Each structure stands twice: as structure tokens, then as C-alpha cells.
Copies of this chain bind each other. A is one copy, B any other.
Amino acid sequence: MKTTRTQNLIAAALFGALLFTATIACAADPLPSWNDGKAKQSIEAFVEKVTKEGTPNYVPAAERIAVFDNDGTLWAEQPMYFQLLFALDRVKALAPTHPEWKDKEPFASLLKGDLQAALAGGERAMVEIVMATHAGMTSEEFEQIVKDWLATAKHPKFKRPYTECVNQPMVELLAYLRANGFKTFIVSGGGIEFMRPWTEKVYGIPPEQVVGSSIKTKFEMRDGKPVLVRLPEINFIDDKAGKPVGINEYIGRRPIAAFGNSDGDQQMLEWTQAGPGARLMMLVHHDDAIREFAYGAESKIGTFSDALMTEAKTNGWTVISMKNDWKRVFAWGQ
């Protein structure tokens, strides 16, 4: 009899503890870095709408596809795309084995530290820099080069590794969507193999859910071992009208939610919105010069043109003000 009473007490205590834990879990805000406001509310309202079974806007979990631009949306992109900073560091690292670069543009100017002169050659100069630094090795070698760079390089303003220059509110949003049955994808103009080595750790997005720009690769045998060699030839540019093309090719389903921050994301948001049922389209606006950067229509990268702002208003897309909608920008900062 005594044993039974003890058991009952233990059971009651355990049940109470469970109930208490459940209450905490329910009460915790899954988006703590977002200020209350239209942006946060539109996210919560959308998720509630598409996950409520038996209602007209319900979407089965398998079709809850959410796509995210990377540069400027998930992590910062100023003073320039981080991948470009990687390429510049690679040019310096490779210079000793390329003595001819001393007299060859855009490398000569780059090595003298004159970035503006180096990039004066426009897109052609850019492609030359990318090919010289991203091609010629195997896919495994390139992965290691990216990992090594990320382990040591620091952002010039924030003095932190680039993988810490990620927008904490967006990391929370990714987790919140996944907790509600969504499958989250990156759809970025950046290089697919530049992102895959770290997106799982930093965003919880596995390699197979990363879509990006790419160069061609070639299968060959080296000493009896198969390798994929990276070729100096563009395969796919995942930007602007290329984003819906990339979504269709790599994912094969139309997303129901899309997040971007620039003119490069316009068509991805249009494509997402054109499907039936409830849709969520959002644009991050970098208007926070103190905590991050403030730039818009005048910017050379991550351009948020006046035309995009007009389209956002016309189409009912939500513009996220970094300054007003985010309680903090980075996990380590304010």
C-alpha cells in the first residue's frame, strides 16, 4: 500500500513536470529577435493559415516549400559580396604560383591593392577573377579551400568570421518554418559550392537544399580514383529571371513563401506569388547604418530599387525594415 502511494506521488510529480515543460514550450516566442509589428505578424498569420487542417488555405507539409536568398537576406553582403572577398584573398594566396599576374589585368591592379582599377573591366574582369580562383581543382579540394578561408577570414567592419555575420531574426524564421513542417531552401545568386560547406551548420539547411550559381564540372579518373574537376566555364547563373528557372530545375515545386532583399529576387517573388492559395513574399530592407548597413536604390550590390519598392506595395509584399522590425541583427550584437 505504501509502495503504491509512493508510486502515485512520483507519477504525479512527473506529470506535473511534463505539464510545466509543455507550458514553457508554448509560451516561448519562436521569433524573439523580431519586434512586434506588421512583418512579424504577417509571418505568424501566414504560418497559422497554411498549417490549420480543414481550412481553405491549408497546405500539406510536403508542399510547404520556402525559399531564401542568401546575400543580404540570410547574411550580410556589404562592403561587397563575401564570395568576392574570398576570391580576392584567393588571388593573393595564389599569386606566388602565377608570376604572370604581375603584368596582367585584373590581377595586377588587385595585387597592388587597387580594387577599383581591377574591377574597371566590368563583368569580364569579374569572371576572370572567379574562374582563376574557383576552377582548376576538384570539388573536394574546393570545399576544403572554402572551409579553410571561413575558419580564418574576418569581416572588415564586424571583426567576426563571415559565418557569424548572419541575420539572427532570419535564422529564427528558418527554424520557426521548419518547426511548422516547412522545407527551407536557399536560392542564391552566389556559388552553390561556396555555400554548401557551411549552410547546414549555420542555417540548418543541408547541401541538397541549396540552389545557386555554378560552373561546370567534369568526371574523370585520377590515379584510379574518380574525381569531379571544376572547369572555368559558367554552368548556371541563379539570379533575377534565373531564380524561378533554378527553383523549377532543382526543387521542381513552386514555393509558397519567398524571402529576398534586392532586385535580383524580384522574379522569385513573382513566381512564388503566382501560385494558388496563401502566399508570403518578404523583402529585407537594409536601412540600419548603425547596426549593419543602410543602402537601397543607389547601391551597386544588393540594389533595392524604387521600382522594386513600388512593386512590393502593389503586390502586397511585406518589406522588413531592419531598423524597426529587428530587435537585434546578429546573435552576438544588438
Question: Chain A: residues with CB nearer than 8 A to chain B?
Answer: 62, 65, 139, 183, 192-193, 196, 200, 206-210, 214, 217-220, 225-226, 228, 235, 241-242, 244-245, 248-253, 267, 270-271, 274
Contacts and interface: CB of A to CB of B under 8 A. Distances in A.
Contact of A267 (B226, B235, B250, B270): B226
B207 A252 contact: yes
Contacts of A206: 62, 253
A256 to B, nearest CB: 14
A200 B250 contact: no
A298 B49 CA distance: 57
B267 A244 contact: no
**Identical chains in the assembly:** 2
B219 A267 contact: yes
B250 A208 contact: yes
Given A250-B250, A252-B208, A245 B271 contact: no
Given A206-B62, A225-B274, A244-B228, A252 B192 contact: yes
Q: Looking at A196, A244, A267, which has the most chain B CB atoms within 10 Å of its CB? A: A244
> What 6 pairs across the A-B complex have the smallest Cβ distances?
A207-B252, A219-B241, A196-B252, A219-B244, A208-B251, A226-B270
A218 B245 contact: yes
Contact of A245 (B196, B228, B242, B252): B228
Nearest to A199: B252
Contacts of A244: 219, 226, 228
A228 B248 contact: yes
A253 B207 contact: yes
Given A196-B252, A208-B252, A251-B207, A226 B274 contact: yes
Contacts of A62: 200, 206
A205 to B, nearest CB: 11
A329 B102 CA distance: 66
A226 B266 CA distance: 11
18 contacts: A62-B200, A62-B206, A65-B208, A192-B249, A207-B251, A207-B253, A208-B208, A208-B209, A208-B252, A208-B253, A217-B248, A219-B241, A219-B245, A219-B267, A226-B244, A226-B271, A226-B274, A228-B245
A220 to B, nearest CB: 8
Given A207-B253, A208-B253, A226-B244, 4 more contacts: A210-B252, A217-B245, A219-B241, A226-B274
Contacts of A207: 251-253
Q: Looking at A139, A226, A235, which has the most chain B CB atoms within 10 Å of its CB? A: A226
Contacts of A225: 274
A217 B250 CA distance: 12
Contacts of A210: 252
A290 B217 CA distance: 42
Nearest to A214: B249
A270 B226 CA distance: 7
Contacts of A200: 62
A274 B241 CA distance: 37
Contacts of A271: 219, 226
